[in-house]
């Protein structure tokens, strides 16, 4: 993903569950912030995952908080490998 964040030919980078990776310390927050700040000017980045760090929120142009309307867990379907695990 770091290479994608440097490539001006890429208009959108999706960093799915980045917030979870940061929460568990799998990635260095300062490095992530630096990479995001150094990306091409018109490149959009979509970050997902709960519990965004305040520093990441401060850097973002738009922040949305999405709530659950309906979820498979409520019907007794457990986390699935490759989806939630």
Beta bridge partners of 12: 44
Cα–Cα distance for residue pair 30/56, rounded to 1 Å: 10
Residue 12 lies in a domain: yes
| Residue 84 resides in a domain | no
Instruction: Provide the domain count of the chain.
Output: 1
Identify the CATH number of the domain in which residue 27 sits.
3.40.50.300
Tens digits of residue pLDDT in 52-79: 999 999 999 999 999 989 988 889 999 8
Q: Which domain holds residue 35?
A: 2-75
Domain assignment present for 85 = no
Residues 6+ apart with CB under 8 A from 78: none
Alpha-carbon Rg for the chain in angstroms: 15
- 34-54 pLDDT, tens digit each: 999 999 999 999 999 999 999
Q: How many Cα atoms occupy the beta-carbon half-sphere of 44 within 13 Å?
A: 4
Stated pTM of the model: 0.82
pLDDT of residue 61: 94
- Residue 16: inside a domain: yes
SS3 assignment, position 68: coil
């Amino acid at each position: 993903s770091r290479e994608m964040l440097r490539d001006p030919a890429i208009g959108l980078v999706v960093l799915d569950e980045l917030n979870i990776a940061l929460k568990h310390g799998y990635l260095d927050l300062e490095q992530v912030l630096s990479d995001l700040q150094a990306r091409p000017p018109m490149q959009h980045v979509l970050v997902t995952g709960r519990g965004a760090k305040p520093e990441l929120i401060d850097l973002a142009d738009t922040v949305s908080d999405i709530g659950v309307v309906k979820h498979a867990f409520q019907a007794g379907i457990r986390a699935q490998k490759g989806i939630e695990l």
